[in-house]
A and B are shown apart, each in its own frame.
Chain A
């Protein structure tokens, strides 16, 4: 079992979730209003009113083949709009 962590602007949430669903992800968790610091600037909620809000953090637990299926699509979105994605091992309790 793998864990995929994605952090990117909330504006791209629909595109990322569509990519995950098309790859057959069994489910995912979305945490909105994620703030912090990116490579260029502080990520805050202060532009929430304009739709340029903070980041979203998406966590997916799934098999590796699902991650492979969605890899290129998600990389393309993150390369274009910005954001990070990391895959790690996950052990169920």
Chain B
């Protein structure tokens, strides 16, 4: 791994603010961010990233690498939860395995945004259409997780369990607030860029100039939340701790292999690897809490947020960049 890349990644404001949040919890500072604000910032980040992605999708069009890349991303979000499920079943029951597998098959928008910031700091170009892959990778993993519960877990469900309704499952996976906003913003960005260029200009101060500051603020909160979730890892046990660190590496390698087959440039390849390596803590926990209450939320939140997320944004992104540079030389 190129130590220099790790250092350059760590010394960026978003990652430093993330550490500031962690240190605040460790030192028991009274720093507290009122509850509605992180929610507002997460919605803002999804809106801005979707809008910008839609604009760039319009300018790049749907030809060339766009459709194969987006299609491969969707396939990865179907395959990764299956691989994770098989591994997790070695130690966990069907419900926890399916919920955690769904979380790892889905993506983390903030990890993706951090990877974009990293690429910008390194002056490595990437395409806006990768946001379309981001938006379309969230839902399939949720559906796979719930199908796994339906197939493998029916006999083991609690006596008071409610039958899973496909309508509820699809509603939770596609109309979940974060997925809906991301897809909606992508469409609005696309339509605005195509038919109303002055609208793009008017949005720029909001979706463009404020973005980096909002990302820092959100990562400050994520640092606090991640640190608060660390004690939950003790309950999760060593198997899940190893899983939370090793599976992103495996998924990233898988992503890099697919990116190489798709002949993606280094920037897009890193984003593709990050999408495969990251785990969801927005849409999936909400959907799993609703549809698989048998799964322990502390397991899938502690692993994704307490370990995989910090690992990816601090070490993972530069490490995957090093792997991309090795396997896909520019």
Q: Which of B289-328 contact A (CB under 8 A)?
A: 289-290, 293, 297-298, 301
Indicate with 1 or 0, residue by residue over A21-56, a CB within 8 angstroms of chain B CB atoms: 000000000000100000011001111111111100
Number of interface residues of B (CB under 8 A): 29
A86 within 8 A of B: no
Decide yes or no whether B97 CB sits under 8 A from chain A.
no
Cβ contacts under 8 Å, B177 to chain A: 51
Q: Is the pair A48, B286 in contact by a Cβ cutoff of 8 Å?
A: no
Residue numbers in A under 8 Å from B232 (CB-CB) = 41
For the complex, count residues of A whose C-beta is within 8 A of B: 21
Residue of B nearest to A51 (CB): B286
Instruction: Tell me, yes or no, whether B225 is within 8 Å of chain A by CB.
Output: yes
What's the Cα separation between A90 and B248 when bound, in Å?
Answer: 55
Given contacts A33-B35, A46-B225, contact A52 B160 (CB under 8 A): no
Q: How far is the CA of A3 from the CA of B112 in the complex (A)?
A: 48
Q: How far is the CB of A50 from chain B (nearest CB, A)?
A: 5
Whether A48 pairs with B160 at a CB distance below 8 angstroms is no
B77 to chain A, nearest CB (A): 18
Once A49-B38, A50-B285, A52-B289 are accepted as A-B contacts, the answer to whether A80 and B161 lie under 8 Å apart by CB is yes
Instruction: Among A49, A52, A80, point to the contact of B297 (Cβ < 8 A).
Output: A52
Given A9-B289, A11-B289, A47-B225, 6 new contacts (CB under 8 A): A44-B228, A48-B35, A49-B42, A49-B218, A51-B285, A80-B160
10 residue pairs from A and B, CB less than 8 Å apart? A11-B290, A45-B35, A49-B41, A49-B218, A49-B282, A50-B178, A50-B285, A50-B286, A51-B282, A80-B161
